[in-house]
Chain A
Amino acid sequence: MKKNGVKMIKINSKNVDVFYGKKQALFNINLDIEENQVTALIGPSGCGKSTFLRCLNRMNDVIDICRVKGQIIINDFDINDKSCDVVRLREKIGMVFQKPNPFPKTIYENISYGPTIHGMAQSKNEMDEIVETSLKKAALWEEVKDRLHEPGTGLSGGQQQRLCIARAISVKPEVILMDEPCSALDPIATAQIEELIDELKKDHTIIIVTHSMAQAARVSQNTGFFHLGELIEHGSTDKIFKNPENKKTQDYITGRFG
C-alpha cells in the first residue's frame, strides 16, 4: 500500500547473520518488507528462507544453538535488542506453520488461547466475539460455527490450517509469518488459503515462505530469492518473475535448479 505515493516499510532488516552453532546459515541479509503487502520468500531447500522468517518473531530463541546478529527493525524498534519483550513482539507478529498444529483442545479454545494469554477479553461475550471474528476472517466460521466445542484436531487438514490462521489473527497481529502454509494441503485447500491470504493483507503485513513458484506469483506483491544463505535478489514479484536481474534467480524460476 502506498501512502502519498511513498512505500511504507513495515520491517527493515540490516546485516542479519544467523549461526547454528559454528555453521553460518544466513549471510548479511538486508531486506525491507512493505506494509500491507504479501512478500514471498523463495529458494531451494536449506537456503535459509525459513530461518529468516523465524528471525522476525524471534522463534529462533527456542533453538539453543542458534545465534542471530544484526538489526531487525519493526515499528522503529530493534527486536534483537535486549529490551525487547518477546511476549509483546509475538503478539504483534503472528505465525502459521508448515504443518497445521492446532492444540489438542476445542476449536473455541484454540482461538481463545492467544487473547487469554494477552488479557484481551474482559468478559465471555467479548471472547465470543473475538472467536467469531477471527474464524470469519479465516473463512472458517460457516464450517465450524455449530461445533465450536469439538476438538480442533478433528478438522480436515485445510480446515486445521485455517484454524491456525484464525488462531494467529485472534490477537490482531500487525504481521503474519507463514512458513510454507500449504505444503501439507491438497489443491482445493491451497486455493482457499491463497484466497484468504489475499483478503488478510488489507489488515496485516504478510510474509510467506513457499516452495511453489506459482503460489509466489499468485499471492505476493514482492518476492525475495534466497540461495545458500544469501539474499540473491528481491523486488516486486512482477519484476522477479518476468525480468530477474540475477542469472541464478532466472535459473531457479525457470526450474533449471533447486
Chain B
Amino acid sequence: MKEQIANVQADALAQIAGIADMKALEDARVSILGKKGSLTQVQQGMRNVPKEDKPAVGALLNQARAIITAALDDRKAELQRALDAAAVAGVDLTMPGATLPEGGLHPISIVRDEAVRILRRMGFTLSDGPEIEDEWHCFDALNTPDDHPARNEKDTFYFDSGKLLRTQTSTVQARVMEKQAPPVRIICPGSAFRRDAIDATHLSAFNQIEGLYVDKNVSVGDLKGTLEYFLKALFGSETAVRFRPHFFPFTEPSFEIDVLLQAAGQAPRWIEIAGCGMVNPAVFENIDKATGKQLYTGCTGFAFGIGLERLAMIRWGIRDIRLLIENDARFLAQFQ
C-alpha cells in the first residue's frame, strides 16, 4: 500500500510537471484526485490495511493528496502567469493613438471670452444691442456732427430704409443709457461694420468689445487703472501700456492705447489696441434730451472700445487678419 501511494504520487507529480494548458491541468486534477482518480482508488485499499498500520498509511495518503494538490495549484498559477504574459506580449505602447475627430474654439471666441472674464471680474456686466442701427444711436447720440466723414455711403453701410450697420459697438452706450439709470458698468462684445476693402489688416465686418462706466465722480484715473489692469491681465503683468491723446467725438479727453509688442526677432514696437476716453458731456445731454429725464447730466464716465481681431493678432502673432475669417482647419487647429 505504501508503495502504491508512493508510485501514484510520483506518477502524478511527473504528469503535472508536463502539463501545458489549463484544460489538461483540470483533467489531471480529476484523473488523480477525482472520485475515480488514481489516488482515490489507492485510498479505497485502506479497508484492507491492518488496524495498527492505518494511522501511518492514512497520514501518508493525506500527505500525498496535499503534495499533489499543491503541485496542481502551483502549476495552475504558473500557467496563468504565462497566459497573462502572453496576453500583453504583442502590445506596442509606442504606437500612435487612434484618431478622434478634433474640435476646438475659434481664436476670436477664445480671446473674447478671456476679455469678458477679466472685465466681469472687475464688475462689468454684459449688454447687447442691434447691429442694424439707426443714425441716432450710431452718430447723433454720440455727438458725431452731421458732416462727419463717417456719415456717408462711402464709409458706412446704409440700407434703403435709412438704417445702417453700426460702425462701432459704442451704439450700445446710447442704448443702455436710454433704458437704465446710472450707475452703468457694462461691456458689450459684438460686430461692427465699415466700408473698408478687405486686406491683410482690414475687414469690413469686425469684432469689438465696448465698455462704459458712468457714475458720479468717475475719473481719468479710473479709466487708466481699469484699462491698465485689463491689458496686463490679458497680455501679462510685464506688458507696457501707453495712452496717447487722440480725438473721438463722443469722449473728451480721448486717448488711444498702445501696447509694446515684443515679437521674437523683431524690434519692440507700439501697437494701437484700443480707443478710450471720458464720456463727452454732450452725450449725456443727448440721452437726457431724448428720454426727457435728467438722469445723466452731471454724471461722469469713461468708455472704451477694443478690437478683438487686433487682440488675437497680437496675442498669437497672426500676420494676416483674413486668416480669422477664412476658417481653414489647419489654421484653426493651432488654437486651444
**A and B, one complex?**
no
B residues with a Cβ closer than 8 A to A are none
A residues with a Cβ closer than 8 A to B are none
